[in-house]
Amino acid sequence: MIRMTTILPALRGFMAQGQTLPRLACAKPDGTEPVVSIPPGCDDVLAVLRDSLPDGVRRVTIEAAGTYVAEFATVTGRAAGKIAVVTGAAQGFGLEIATDLAAQGAWVALADINAEGVQTAAAKINADCGRDAAIGVAASVTDPDSIAAALEKVVATFGGIDLFVSNAGVLRAGSVKELPVRDFDFVTDVNYKGYFLCVQNVAPILALQHRAAPQAWFDIIQINSKSGLTGSNKNGAYAGSKFGGIGLTQSFALELVEDGIKVNSICPGNFYDGPLWSDPEKGLFRQYLDSGKVPGAKTFADVKRFYESKVPMRRGCTTPDVMKALYYLMEQSYETGQAVPVTGGQVMLA
């Protein structure tokens, strides 16, 4: 069986126009395109493609895989022509990040363990954009086989990946004296190990594109938290996983720079409108109220006021705040390994 992740990213790299790589769309062969045969077990697809493809080719048939045509973006925007994957995209920050990327011209794959949710979300994005901008793929970030299968589907649909946003995250608040070990493990598996597994699976795809198009660079951006920059009372599992995520970001950045990959984190303040906070049963307003983390609080509103009072700008973080940081990191060619705070001044770096 041919794995698209070992062929199509290299193919789109060879079809690049400057630093811009195309989307690869499936097409019917018309007999005019070159036909390339990839031998079974081939360990150097790049060499085969390099020897087989004429300069300026925009349409190719790969035997046993299909015919692909290069499509360059005809829309405008800060993410125009980019192929992006966003994890945890069925709701909350992830969904809003994916929606904004599509509105700014990207092709976007929404990945989430909630398969039905991302399918519905992708359909709405397409309707709002008036084009086939998004797909939904089922993925559990704690399962490497699930991640690999999701990325295979993304590459088969779009041809490769330019931006990977590792957004999936969970939180279980509680004192170190009382927090069940299963809750600690759950938070660590998703927020820390899940980030590692996602990068482990996506980095080879980005590296293959860079080998085919050395002038092009690609991005991995982790949505971290202000709790990755400063400790969080009675929230050690979450803060620890986020501190660890920044350690991974810095380490990945040092290693993957040679593959043309920038790796950065964004550390937002509290996103009160998302389900992480506002879910009436499992959200942080409920968890913090029940755990007594906010002294004297009797309602969700009391909890919210307590946290807003800690922010110099007196409000929570919003998706537009985060997107400004995300586009900066994409556009800034001279930055990697950073943890960018978007906290309204609640966390100030020395």
Active site residues: 238
The first and second tokens of residue 191, run together, are 């927020």
For residue 129, which amino acid is it? C
Residue 348 CA to residue 342 CA, distance in Å, equals 10
Neighbours of 176 (CB within 10 A): 11
Beta-carbon neighbour count of residue 297 at 10 Å? 17
134-138 and 66-71 beta bridge pairing? unpaired
- The torsion defined by the Cα of 248, 249, 253 and 259, in degrees rounded to 10, comes to 80
Q: Which residues, at least 6 apart from 285, have a Cβ–Cβ distance to it below 8 Å? A: 277, 278, 300, 303, 304
Beta carbons of 109 and 135 less than 8 angstroms apart: yes
Comparing CA positions, the residue from 36, 162, 165, 146 lying closest to residue 98 is 165
